Amino acid sequence: MPNEQVVHVVDDLAVRQSLSFLLASDGLPVRLHESASAFLETVKDAATGCIVTDVRMPGIDGIEFLRRLKERGFALPVIVMTGHADVPMAVEAMKEGAVDFIEKPFDDDLFLAAVRSALKLQEHHAQRDAQVSEVQARLQGLSERERQVLDGLVAGKANKVIAYDLGISPRTVEIYRANVMTKMQAGSLSELVRMALVVGALPTG
């Protein structure tokens, strides 16, 4: 698990202390926050890791906390803890973007498994974001004509159809296609299509 990934615990003092000990004993970096407001004031949206919080908190409750995280562009997975009577609130939290909810009292191993799952999810999202940025940078390097050929390829059109649509020869399309493959660093047409799908670079018409 990358060292920079931190488990942010946002809850009352007793819970913070208990979970801090549990997480630290499992080798997970922990940062404690006394309230949702404190978290929002001190943590930047570029943070990595996950958040563990409660649906019921003084001030900003768990549901409102999720909404504010979403508004500010936080990409951290959130696990909400709930008492048995608050399961409907936990379900609402899931609808607001929480990745999991755990009923109190919970088993330590279950809790740790949920946290590690959330951290893996965040790591996957970070890798995907990096991949998207890289593909977008490659797209920016295409000429207008190369981008038109790419659109045709992603639409599943044959070279001769792309040539007809653009008013150029099939041989010229082949040259542009080779340039696109090189600039996009794609080893095959299927890989090129996957790249386009990753960034939503679908044909406009």
30/151 Cα distance (integer angstroms): 46
pLDDT at 205: 44
Residues 189 and 104 in one domain: no
The pLDDT tens digits for 123-162 are 887 778 788 888 999 999 999 999 999 999 888 899 999 9
Instruction: Evaluate whether residue 39 is within a structural domain.
Output: yes
Residues 64 and 41 in one domain: yes
* Over residues 20-43, mean pLDDT: 93
Tell if the pTM clears 0.75, that is, is over it. Answer: no
Q: Strand runs (DSSP E) across 4-91, as ranges?
A: 6-10, 30-33, 49-54, 78-82
16/9 Cα distance (integer angstroms): 6
The answer to whether residue 56 scores a pLDDT higher than 80 is: yes
∠ at Cα 110 (107, 116), nearest 5°? 140
pLDDT at 194: 82
Residues 122 and 145 in one domain: no
pLDDT at 202: 54
pLDDT at 201: 60
CATH number at residue 156: 1.10.10.10
Tell me phi and psi for residue 185, to 5 degrees.
Answer: 55, 45
Neighbour count for residue 128 (Cβ, 10 Å): 11
- Beta-carbon contacts of 173 under 8 Å, excluding residues fewer than 6 positions away, are 149, 152, 159, 160, 162, 163, 166
CATH number at residue 116: 3.40.50.2300
Helices vs strands, H then E, count in the chain: 9, 5
Range of the domain at 85: 6-129
Instruction: Evaluate whether residue 204 is within a structural domain.
Output: no
Q: Are 33 and 39 spatial neighbours (Cβ–Cβ below 8 Å)?
A: yes
pLDDT at 4: 74
Chain centre distance of CA 179: 31
